[in-house]
Structure 1
Amino acid sequence: MKIISLLVLLWLIIGGVAAFQRGYFESSDTSCAGLGTIALTIVAGPLNYLGVNPEVQNCELPQPSE
């Protein structure tokens, strides 16, 4: 179980490094699509270095009722 946890943590760290290298943490875009792209990049992990470029084009958040 420790090995699996370590591998998952390493996978996510590599994804975080990929998101950092792409400059996703430096932009002031705090839209749903921007945050979704960051999350997908982190989850994709090492696949980012194999050519995967996950992006969220748009997303609609539900609006609160009045």
Structure 2
Amino acid sequence: MTNGEFAGGTWRKSSYSGGGNDCVEVALLADRIGVRDSKNPGAGALSVSPSGWRGFLRVLDRD
């Protein structure tokens, strides 16, 4: 997906990123979640469903 398809959302970095550009950014919309590389935001974004994103976060929370 292109970043323009997430124009209605705001790209955000995790507060755990330490302010560097070596993390991902996330844009939340009602029907999808965008994920992109903060080092190269113009390269495009992945799009996942809200349920897919919740599943991903559950896996991360297991650590």
TM-score normalised by the chain length of structure 1 = 0.28
Greater per-residue helix proportion: 1
Which has more radius of gyration? 1
* TM-score, normalisation: structure 2: 0.29
Which gives a bigger RCO, structure 1 or 2 (Cα 8 Å, sep 6+)? 1
